Every structure is written in structure tokens, then in C-alpha cells.
Amino acid sequence: MFEKVDVYPYRRKVDDRGEKRSRSFRRPGFLSSLDMRGFLNPGLLPALAAGFCLGRAVLLGELSPFAPAFAAACGTYFSAGTGFLAILAVCSGMATVYTGTQLAAGLSTILGVYFFVRSLPDRYASRWHGPGVVVLALTLSVKAALLSFSGADAYNYINVLFESVFAAALTPALVLSLKSLGGINGVKPLATEEVVCVLTLAAGIIAGTGDIRLWHISVKGVLSGVIIMVSSLAGGAGFGAAAGALAGMIPGLAFTALPLMVGAYSFAGVVSGLGRMLGKAGVILGFLLANVILCVYVNDFSGIAAVVGETLSAAFIFMLIPSKWIKMITFSLSPGLAPEKGEKTTDHVREVLQEKIRGLSVMFREMSRAFSHVSAAVEESSEERDLDALVKEINNKVCHGCGMYRICWEKDYYRTYQHSMEMFATVETFGRVTAEDMPGEFKRRCTRPRELSIAVSCLFDAYKLNRFWSGKLSESRGLVGNQLKGLAGVIENIVGNMDFSQGDFSETDLFLKHIIKEQGYHAFDVRLMEMEGNREVVITGKACPGTSDCCYKVAPAVSKALGQAFNATGCICGGKDKGEICTFRLYQGLNYDIETGVAAVGREGHRVSGDSYSFAQLAGGKFAAIISDGMGSGEKAAAQSSATVAIIKRLMDFGFDMEAALKTVNSILMLRLPEETFCTVDMTVINLYTGQAEIIKIASPPSYLIKGKRVSQLKGSSLPVGIINDIEVSTAVKKLVAGDVLVMVTDGIVDSHRSSNEKEDWLPGVLGEAGGSEPGELAGLLLDLAVAGDKMPRDDMTAMVIKLIKQQ
């Protein structure tokens, strides 16, 4: 007898073994690892190299504004360990270009700036001008004081003043550049000022390389070439020209060759950017061609070997840069130089939009109230009005022109009216009325008894037909009212979830779509959303092939790209028909995960079960489980229950709450033909952040909540959906913790032991003993015991088990 039993175990669990992250949304970038406590971390080497080069950067042969500015940036951005080592690197670099009094002044300024900035209160250090004022004051005072002991002239003091102002102006740029480098991750594009600050830092590093050469190859030329080619690949000719101009300006000041270097590097950036469509090879070819042209026409073939050597060296380093880094740089930097399309959405715009949308919500709610009032008023008055119309029709069709008319309908109106109602009551009770069924006194006085009895029978048939269609119209009004009320709730949720402070996610959506495609899943649409303070990624694409759920393969890649743990809890996208569209959600930072198991079998003699069930991921980290039992069995009951489940899922995914969704489904089923079936609904929605479960039962058997060895029943008393126009929906709220198990069954399971006195009592005993089993095993056990107790399945049977576990 067990050959027809199908067990469908589901295990929805993601094992994220990475370290737990905070709920802040800081994204990892190239230099984010620098902000760590301690001296040894992966970002220390770039910090030391940058510090050493900036310490060596000398502009116009006398000015060193980068060293104190970078010292202030280190004190603001880096941790104590990394920042101090970076300062030592700056001092080491300065010691290679200065000696004597100049070196002492420079080192004193650098150390003073660093320690003074680190001691600033946060309210001053976090402002853009705070560190800059410190750099200006210390550079000016320390160097001017040392100059006073050496008998310097006015020119030297002017140099100190100019260097102090220049360093103070560079300080916020370098601070912002370090923060911007920490955000180059391909998720959020940098603003224009951030791009300029990053390029300024790069230009300062290039200037610090001085005239260092390796076999006649200038380090400055190689680094400049790498920066220009990366910029050209990221943003095309315009970006390449801008990067070339900035990369040539500051090093040009260092080597007093400003016009020539700026023009040469800008030209190289334009030509290399034109080859962007061909990828790295096109950029390298364009850069090499530009340098050769400049060498031929400017230097007359002299130094062409060195130029080619620098270009090839830069190209070699450029080719070694991983494609992933190039993609992140392209995504993060290129939008920064694009023209602004307008100011970002302001608070005023948000308030106006919210007010307009809130007005729509109020309008829909008023319309819903109007439909409900009209429906109630019509229902109260229509029956009495219809009966009065029937009596009036008798008056007009039968009695008009009769000699007894004045006696019956004028002198004795109320008694004639009462006798007419008695005849209608007879028709309603027995289906027909004859002259013999007329009241005695009324029969003796009436001169047309046969015509009157026939008219009453015909009019009552018309009355019943009219009442039927009036009821349908009233139900339709109720359906429209419930839908308008649900739409009002959805619109109110939209207003509550509107948050412009997070910026535009459109670029991030495109980046995530590319990341997901790399995992072998083709997504039609990817949306990063903020729901109730937590982020969610909603992905739509084709259903996963086979039985595997590809959403569990996508989740780790999305988590890595966004720098936060995202879970695919509750996702069921595998095993569906080929080509079917599937939408699933990835949730950020869930506290709980779920494991589910389902076992089902159809009634004996039926291949199709009349029970339907489904799971659904909802916004806000909620998971829904739904079971519907169609009245009867077979394909007809299955169609009714599956339609009910599908409509509830769609409405709740759209934003309807549980009560509004159920009332809408009930109204739809009320519009059915009389011979169609009804169905039950058993629904549970679990909040995977808080563990709170909302349970609604519409004519369904009890559910069972297992906490350890304790088993409790959860009952409902509502009628099935589709019977009465306004069903009563009551919600039970339970607080679940990790390890709790919820068991939902249909009446086929509960009534399987009908031959004994156990009935519902057999389930708690089994659950108390086997409640610790895996959900799939427990669901299969309940179904096996139910089939064994019933000898053969006399009704459709479904058992669903949901276990709450702690998120790993």
C-alpha cells in the first residue's frame, strides 16, 4: 500500500562560515584592510610605499606639501599601528632628498602633524577643514621658527607660507582619496571629487619617484603609463585625457617641465582611450602609438628606445592587473567623470512624493469604505424592497380591473398584503402554490384565485433569480472593496519603505547582475532594496535546472561582492518546469534559518492530490508556508486548492497582509458557480529576524508546535473560504526560538485513525516521541503512520514540518 506515498524532503540551509560582520554597510575595497589595529596587515605595504614616495615629492625644487598633508591623512584614516609605520616611511623618504636644517624642519612638521591630528576630538577631526588647519599652523610655525635661527631672507619666508597653504589645501584631498580607495569595490561609483582626489594622490606618488631609473627606464614614466592606461580603459578617451593631465601636472611641477608633460600625457590618454573597445590590447596599442608619435615629432627619434622601454614596462604591469580589479575600477571610477544628470533627490522631493503616494492610499481606502457601505446598505434594504415590488406586481397584473379591487387594496389593504405574503411563504416552502393553498377568507373573497396563484408562483421564481444575481453583485462589491483596501495597505507600505538616503542602487544592480552571471545563472532582473532597515536582493530569472537550487550558489557571490552576509533562506527555485520564471530573495543578516520537510499522498484511486502547498519568501525577511485542502478529491479539488495557494502567494508578495490576502481570495471564490468546491487554508508566516510566527487557520485541522518535549495544539474556528461573504480571520502569534518545530497537516492525516478513539490524540503522542527528527524524516513518518492507520488513504494527506534553526 505504500507504493503511492511520495516524500518530498527540503533542506533550506546555507552554511556561511565566514566571519560575522556588523550591520553597517561598509564595502571592502583596496585599502579597507588598512583600517586595522596592529602593525601587520595586508594593506601595510602599499601604505609604506605611498608614504615613502610622498615624502620624496618636491615641487618646484623647494616645496614639499605632500609630506605633511599625508601625515594628517594617516592620522585621520589609518589605525595607530599602520599610521605610525606610514609616517616612518614618509620620514625615510624625506631623508633621501633633504639634509640639515631642512630635514629637521620637515621631520618635526610631519611628526607634529601626525600626533596632533590623532589627538583631535572627533568633532574636529571628522570635519574637512580640521586637519587642514593643523597642517597650515604647524608647517608655518615650525619651519618659520627654524628659519629665524638661520638668518633667512623674505623669499624663504614666502616659500614657507606658500608651502603651508599648499599642504593645507592638499590635506582634505588626501584624506578623501584614502577613504575613496577604500570604496573602490565595483559596487558604488565614486563621485567626481573623489576621482580627482585619487588621481591627485597617484600624481603625488609619481612625483615622489624623482629621477629613479632602471636601465634607462624611468620609474615615473612607467607609473604614469599604468595610471593613464587604467584610466583610459575605465572611462575612455575623456577619462584618459583627464588622468593624463593630472598625472603630468604635479610631476611636471616636480621636474619643471609642466607644459610639455601635461600635453604629452593628455595626448597619450586620448589615443589609448580610443582603443578601449578592443580591451587591454587596444589601450596598450594606442598608448604605444601616442608615445612613438610624440617621440618622433618632439624629440626627433632621440630617446625612442627609452620611450618604448617605458611603454612596454607599463604595458607589462598593466597586463598583470587582474581583470576583476579592472572591472571594479571601471565600475567605480568611470561614473565619477560623467556629467552630472542633476542634483540627488532632496528631502523636499521625498516629502512631496510621500505626500502624493499617501494621498493615493487615502483615496483607495475611502473608495473601499464607500463600496463596503453601499454593499451593506443595499443588502439591508433590498429584500424588503423586492417583496414590496412583488406585491405591487400582483396588484397591477392580476387585481387591476377586478370588481373587488377597492375592497381588497383600499379598504382592507393590510390584510390583503398579509395574505399575499402567506402565499409567497407557501411557494418558498413547497415550491408551488394553487388556489386551494390560498388562505380561507382571502380565497372566498377573491374572484380570480387561479390567476392569482399562477402569478404568485411565477413572480417568486423571478424574485429568486433576482436575489441570486443581486447577491453576486453584492459579493463583487465586497471583492472590489477588499482589493481597494489591500491596495491602500500596499501603498502605505511603499511610503514607509521609501528611503532616498541610500542613493541610487541602479549601478549596483547592474554590477550584481554581472556577478550572478559569472556564477552560471542568467538573471533577467536584479534589484538591491532596503526593507525595514535591512537590505535584500531580489533576483528574477529562469528556474534552476534539475533539482538543485542555484540561489544557494548565487548567495555567496553576492555576499562577497556587497561585503555583507546574504542568505537564500526559504528559496525554492529548482525542480520547476524548464523555462519557468523564478523570483527569489537574498536576505542580509538573518538571525534564523529554516529546514522544511513535506510528505503527501493522494486519495486511494486518485493520482492527483486535492491538497496543495507552497513556500514563499516575503519582503522583510519573512518566510511563508501555505497548505490548502480543496473540498473533495482529484483534479477538481487540486485546481481549486492550487489556485487558492497561488493567489495568496501573489498577493502577499505584492505587499498585501495576511488578512487582506485571505479576504480577497474568499471574495474571488464567492463568485464561483454554485457547484464549485470550497477549500481550507492553513498559513504560517515566520519573521526570520525576530522568530515571531503569525498563524492563520481557515477551517483547517490543528497545527502542532513542538518545543523540546512539549507539544501544543494551535486551533482555528473559521469557515472555509468561499462559503460566506465576510469570513472572520483570527491570527495567533507565537514567539519561536531555535530548535522549535511547527507541524501542519490536512484532515486526511488527522482523521486517518477514525476507527479508533484516538482521532486527533494520536498525533501529539507521536510528535512528542519523534519531534527531534529531521523535518523530512518526521513528515514521512507521519504520513506512513496515517496511511497505516487508515488501511488505505480515504482522503488526500499532506504533512508539512518546519524547523527553526540558528543562522550559521
Instruction: Copy the grid coordinates of residue 524.
Output: 533577467
Q: Is residue 195 part of a domain?
A: no
| 223 and 118 together in one domain | no
CA separation for the pair 686, 735 (Å, rounded): 9
Q: Is residue 9 part of a domain?
A: no
Count other C-beta atoms under 10 Å from residue 273's C-beta.
29
What DSSP element (H or E) covers 732?
A: strand 731-735
Q: How far is CA 435 from the centre of its chain?
A: 74
| 450 and 532 together in one domain | no
What is the reported pLDDT for 762?
A: 81
DSSP-H helix ranges across 446-570: 449-497, 506-518, 551-562
Q: b/e per residue, 42-65, with b = 16+ CB within 10 A?
A: ebbebbbebbbbbbbbbbeeebbb
What DSSP element (H or E) covers 86?
A: helix 80-95
| 254 and 243 together in one domain | yes
All residue ranges of the chain with pLDDT < 70 are 1-43, 123-128, 183-189, 250-261, 297-304, 331-361, 363-386, 472, 474-479, 482-484, 486-487, 490-507, 545-549, 574-579, 605, 668, 670-677, 722-726, 754-760
Specify the number of domains making up the chain. Answer: 5
Instruction: Copy the grid coordinates of residue 539.
Output: 533576483
User: Which of 497, 519, 549 finishes a domain?
Assistant: 497
Q: Is residue 21 part of a domain?
A: no
Amino acid 696 reads I
CA separation for the pair 226, 244 (Å, rounded): 10
Domain extent for 428: 354-497
| 167 and 38 together in one domain | yes
Q: Is residue 218 part of a domain?
A: yes
| 464 and 507 together in one domain | no
Q: Is residue 344 part of a domain?
A: no
Q: Is residue 4 part of a domain?
A: no
What is the reported pLDDT for 93?
A: 86
CATH, residue 704: 3.60.40.10
User: Which of 471, 497, 523 finishes a domain?
Assistant: 497
* Among the listed residues 181, 182, 142, 177, the one whose alpha carbon sits nearest the alpha carbon of residue 160: 142
Provide the 3-class DSSP secondary structure of residue 683. Answer: strand
| 628 and 776 together in one domain | yes
What is the reported pLDDT for 498?
A: 55
| 765 and 634 together in one domain | yes
Amino acid 226 reads V
What is the reported pLDDT for 671?
A: 59
What is the reported pLDDT for 56?
A: 84
| 103 and 245 together in one domain | no
| 476 and 584 together in one domain | no
Count other C-beta atoms under 10 Å from residue 571's C-beta.
26
CA separation for the pair 241, 264 (Å, rounded): 10
| 288 and 140 together in one domain | no
Q: How far is CA 422 from the centre of its chain?
A: 66
| 40 and 122 together in one domain | yes
What is the reported pLDDT for 344?
A: 45
Q: Answer for the pair 681, 612: CB distance below 8 angstroms, yes or no.
A: no
User: Which of 546, 562, 589 finishes a domain?
Assistant: 589
Instruction: Label each residue of 159-182 as H, E or C.
Output: HHHHHHHHHHHHHHHHHHHHHHHC
CA separation for the pair 393, 413 (Å, rounded): 15
What is the reported pLDDT for 131?
A: 83
Provide the 3-class DSSP secondary structure of residue 771. Answer: coil
CA separation for the pair 435, 439 (Å, rounded): 9
Q: Is residue 20 part of a domain?
A: no
Instruction: Label each residue of 236-280 as H, E or C.
Output: HHHHHHHHHHHHHHHHHHHHCCHHHHHHHHHHHHHHHHHCHHHHH
Q: Is residue 8 part of a domain?
A: no
| 542 and 581 together in one domain | yes
